[in-house]
Amino acid sequence: MDASKMFNRTAKALIVVYAIFLSLFSLDAFTGGAPWYMQLRGFLIHLVPTYIVIALAVLAWKNAKMGGIAIIIFGIIFTMYFGIYNLSDPNTLLTFMMLAFPLFLTGLLFWLSFKKQNA
């Protein structure tokens, strides 16, 4: 298997696993004593980042270059929005490694698969 296919397959697997991991955080909407329809509403709202990741994955599946760049940009926005860019704090570093680093790695892998394919 050439490097382009390896990068592409790894990136695809990573983005799917990341979307599933991110979705797990939405399950906290089902705690508490709110009515079921309010809990469902909260669950769907908590899934917004997962919807974005899925849309970016579809884009990357069709166009590795654009998808890779878009995923990296989303990683930057995600990092800034959630304030996980202070890497001198060990807790923030762990949060960054769990939530933002997979986006940067996936975007880089999609972009590298494009570069290797067109080299």
d(CA 115, CA 72): 16
For the stretch 13-47, pLDDT in tens is: 999 999 999 999 999 888 878 899 999 999 999 99
Q: Work out the mean pLDDT of the chain and round it to a whole number.
A: 92
- For the chain, the domains span 3-117
> What does pTM read for this prediction?
0.89
